[in-house]
Amino acid sequence: MVDLRSTPHRWRPVLGLLLLAPLVGEYLLGNTPVTDFGSLPLYLPLYGCGALLIREVARRTGHGWPTMLLLGAAYGLWEEGPVDQMLWNPRYGGFDFGLTYAGTHVPFLGTSVALLQDVVSMHMIWSICVPIALVEAFRRDRQRPWLGRVGLAITALVLAAGSAGLAAIQYAANGHFMASAWQWTVGLVLIGGLILAAFLVPRVPKRQGESAAPSPWLAGCAAFALTSAYWVGQAVLRDRVSDWVLVIGWLALAAIAVAVGISWSHCRGWGAQHRAAVAVGALLTYVWVGFTHASDMGVSLSTALIGNIIFGTGALVLAAAALRSASSTDHAANSTQPAA
* Cβ contact 65:128 at 8 Å: no
* Cβ contact 129:54 at 8 Å: no
pLDDT at 47 over 90: yes
> Going by C-beta distance under 8 Å and a sequence separation of 6 or more, which residues neighbour residue 86?
80, 92, 93, 97, 115, 119
Domain region containing 289? 10-332
Average pLDDT in the 7-28 region? 90
Total domains in the chain come to 1
Residue 2 lies in a domain: no
**Confidence (pLDDT) at 2:** 37
Residue 340 lies in a domain: no
Q: Integer distance in angstroms from the first to the last C-alpha of the chain?
A: 29
Average pLDDT in the 154-178 region? 96
pLDDT at 145 over 70: yes
Residue 3 lies in a domain: no
What amino acid occupies position 48? G
**Confidence (pLDDT) at 205:** 65
Write the CA distances from 35 to 245, 259, 299, 306, integer angstroms.
37, 41, 10, 9
Residue 24 lies in a domain: yes
pLDDT at 90 over 60: yes
Integer Cα distance of 127 and 182 in angstroms? 27
DSSP, collapsed to helix, strand or coil, labels residue 108 as: coil
Q: DSSP states of 142-202 as a string?
A: TTS-SS-HHHHHHHHHHHHHHHHHHHHHHHHHTTT----HHHHHHHHHHHHHHHHHHHHS-
What crossing angle do the helices spanning 49-60 and 65-78 adopt, rounded to 10°?
Answer: 150
Confidence category of residue 210, pLDDT binned at 50, 70, 90: confident
Q: How confident is the model over 5-17, as pLDDT tens digits?
A: 445 567 899 999 9
Residue 285 lies in a domain: yes
What does pTM read for this prediction?
0.93
Residue 253 lies in a domain: yes
Q: How confident is the model over 52-79, as pLDDT tens digits?
A: 999 999 999 999 999 999 999 999 999 9
Residue 278 lies in a domain: yes
Residue 1 lies in a domain: no
pLDDT at 154 over 70: yes
